[in-house]
Amino acid sequence: MKCPFCGHTETPVSETRVSEDGDFIRRRRQCGACEKRFTTYERPDVTLPAVVKKDGRRIDYERAKVAGSMKLSLRKRPVSTEQIDSAIERIEEKLLSLGLREVSSTRIGELVMRELKKLDKVAYVRFASVYRSFEDIDEFKTLVNEVNN
3-class state of residue 78 by DSSP: coil
Q: Are residues 129 and 88 part of one domain?
A: yes
Q: Are residues 65 and 10 part of one domain?
A: no
CB 112 within 8 A of CB 66: yes
Specify if 16 maps to a domain.
yes
- The count of structural domains within the chain is 2
pTM given for the model: 0.66
pLDDT digit string, tens, across residues 65-94: 999 999 999 999 999 999 999 999 999 999
Q: Are residues 96 and 39 part of one domain?
A: no
Q: Are residues 55 and 37 part of one domain?
A: no
Q: Are residues 36 and 62 part of one domain?
A: no
CB 86 within 8 A of CB 21: yes
Range(s) of the domain holding residue 64: 50-143
pLDDT digit string, tens, across residues 93-138: 999 999 899 999 999 999 999 999 999 999 988 888 787 767 777 7
Specify if 149 maps to a domain.
no
Specify if 78 maps to a domain.
yes
